[in-house]
Amino acid sequence: MTSYVDSSALVKRYVKESDSSFAVSLIDADKVVVASWLSFVEVRKAITRVLNTSDLTLAKRVLVEDLDKMALISPDVSTWQAAADIADAFGVRSLDAVHLACAQRLRIQGLRFVTFDIRQAVAARALGFNVVGC
C-alpha cells in the first residue's frame, strides 16, 4: 500500500504529543510513503517553534533522513492549479490544498492519506482518499 503523509502527521515523529505514537505507527505501516517537498518547510517550521536547541538539532537531522526514504513530490503547474480548485471547492487552507493536490496527482485508487487536520481530512475523504489519523 502507498500512503501520502501530510505535515500534520509527519511533525508528530519529532514532537511528542498525545497521539505521536499513533501517527508514527500509521507512517511506518507502509513501505511506500509519499510526501510533498512542502512538508520539509512546514515540519522544519513546526519543530523549530517548539523544540529546544539539542532536540531541534537531532530532529532536523532525522527529518532529512526520513525524507530521503520517502517519495517526494514537487508541485508542478497542474498541481498548483488543482490546489486552487481544491481550496475553492472545499474551503481548506492553501497549504492543505497543495498537499491534497499532490496526493491527487499520484492517481492511486484508495490512496491512504495520513493527516491529523480535521478540515483537511474532510476534503480528502470527499476526494476519495482513504483517510487515517483523524
| Structure confidence by residue, pLDDT tens digits, 74-109 | 999 999 999 999 999 999 999 999 999 999 999 999
Q: pLDDT at position 106, please? A: 97
Q: Cβ neighbours of residue 57 under 8 Å, at least 6 residues apart?
A: none
Model pLDDT, residue 32: 96
What torsion do the CA atoms of 110, 6, 105, 101 make, to the nearest 10 degrees?
A: 110
For the chain, what is the domain count? 1
Spatial CA neighbour of 102 closest among 79, 124, 133: 79
Report pLDDT for 20: 97
What is the residue range of 9's domain? Answer: 2-132
Grid cell 530521503 — which residue?
68
pLDDT over threshold 90, residue 111:
yes
Q: How far apart are CA 56 and CA 92, in angstroms?
A: 29
Mean pLDDT of 52-79: 96
pLDDT of residue 1: 87
pLDDT tens digits along 8-48: 999 999 999 999 999 999 999 999 999 999 999 999 999 99
Could you tell me the CATH number of the domain that includes residue 36?
Answer: 3.40.50.1010
Collect all residues with Cβ–Cβ distance below 8 Å to 14 and sequence separation of at least 6: 43, 47, 51, 59, 62, 63
pTM for this one? 0.95
